[in-house]
Amino acid sequence: MTKTMLIDATHTEETRVAVVSGNKLEEFDFESTSKKQLKGNVYLAKVTRVEPSLQAAFIDYGGNRHGFLASSEIHPDYYQIPISDREKLIEAESVAEEAEEPVDGASVEVVGGDEMEEEVERRRPKSYRNYKIQEVIKRRQIMLVQVVKEERGNKGAALTTY
């Protein structure tokens, strides 16, 4: 299916962009001159609260509200666990990445198209689920985060450390 990018810049104070695949809206984004866009920005941030019930942390990154960092979005480099365990996690991740790469000369048949590739990229290794967030990061810990979803309503931005 062909993807089409539609850009509406008829108003000088706002630009809207939509990505359409056939009749399905894949992405929609807008940029306003009055509101600063956060998505994609990288910040040096501090953990303000760890919520075991949500398996997430709230992060002060300098925005209007605290950002939301899910445990699956925390890279093992930030884990406050024994070094041997951290090295095993990083090694398992690199082995998983190597297993996904095709061997030279091997042909790869793609079934499912771009949508499948996007889903595979989002998945994190299951070994990270062995740890609870309160074991992994601590309050007042400093980390580098990127905004993946804008602030909306009374909720803060969604963050990642990958």
Dump pLDDT digits (tens) for 34-79. 777 778 889 999 999 999 998 899 999 887 788 999 988 888 777 7
Question: 3-class SS at 79?
Answer: coil
Lowest model confidence (mean pLDDT) among 3-7, 79-83, 116-120, 156-160: 116-120
Q: How many CA atoms lie within 13 A of 79 on its CB side?
A: 25
Does 158 lie in the same domain as 136? yes
Nearest to 47 by CA among 149, 152, 161, 148: 161
**Are 24 and 56 in a shared domain?**
no
pTM here?
Answer: 0.59
CA distances from 117 to 59, 97, 104, 121 (A): 30, 13, 20, 6
pLDDT score at 117: 46
Do 135 and 148 belong together in one domain? yes
Would you state the pLDDT for residue 74? 86
pLDDT attached to residue 49: 92
Average pLDDT over residues 17-36: 86
Q: Domain of residue 145: give its range.
A: 36-101+121-162
- Statement: residue 108 has pLDDT above 70: no
Neighbouring C-alpha atoms within 13 Å toward the C-beta of 39: 11
Residue 62 shares a structural domain with residue 95: yes
How many Å apart are CA 79 and CA 144, to the nearest integer?
13
Say if residue 95 is in the same domain as residue 66.
yes
